[in-house]
Amino acid sequence: KQEVTQIPAALSVPEGENLVLNCSFTDSAIYNLQWFRQDPGKGLTSLLLIQSSQREQTSGRLNASLDKSSGRSTLYIAASQPGDSATYLCAASDRGSTLGRLYFGRGTQLTVWP
């Protein structure tokens, strides 16, 4: 069974810092890997999706990389802002017998203070 781990569990930084969130997974046979943002009462918002054949994806100040061979993904946030404060989840997709089953990490709770 796929297991996803995220480090650190929590991170507190001043505004303007560049930061890296880490995600590791045990089974490299993934279909894709997604990074989500979770805000209280608002569910999950998909930030970036990296297909298994890709190495990275970028959206604005966010950049996510994927290294299947080592079972790792990183989410890079440039010039962090207080509005980035949220819990960030990574999820590995296994299309096996269930289309779209996602295996989630526990998340990194990010606080960006002014």
Partner 1 sequence: SAVISQKPSRDICQRGTSLTIQCQVDSQVTMMFWYRQQPGQSLTLIATANQGSEATYESGFVIDKFPISRPNLTFSTLTVSNMSPEDSSIYLCSVDRTGDTDTQYFGPGTRLTVL
- Under rule CB under 8 A, residue 41 binds partner 1: yes
Environment class of 58 (CB within 10 Å of its CB; exposed 0-12, middle 13-18, buried 19+): exposed
Size of interface with partner 1, in residues (CB under 8 A): 25
Residue 27 CB partners (closer than 8 Å, separation 6+)? 1, 2, 3, 71, 92, 94
Q: Distance from CA of residue 5 to its chain's centroid?
A: 10
Q: Fill in the per-residue mask, 52 to 81: x = in contact with partner 1 (CB under 8 A), - = not in contact.
A: ------------------------------
Closest separation in Å from C-beta 49 to partner 1: 6
Contact between 68 and 52 (Cβ < 8 Å): yes
Q: Tell me the window of 20-28, 36-44, 64-72, 73-81 that interacts with partner 1 (CB under 8 A).
A: 36-44
Virtual torsion, Cα 44, 79, 10, 56, nearest 10 deg? 60
Residue from the set 43, 60, 83, 114 that interacts with partner 1 by CB under 8 A: 43
Binding region for partner 1 (CB under 8 A)? 4, 31-32, 34, 36, 41-46, 49, 51, 89, 91, 93, 98-102, 104-107
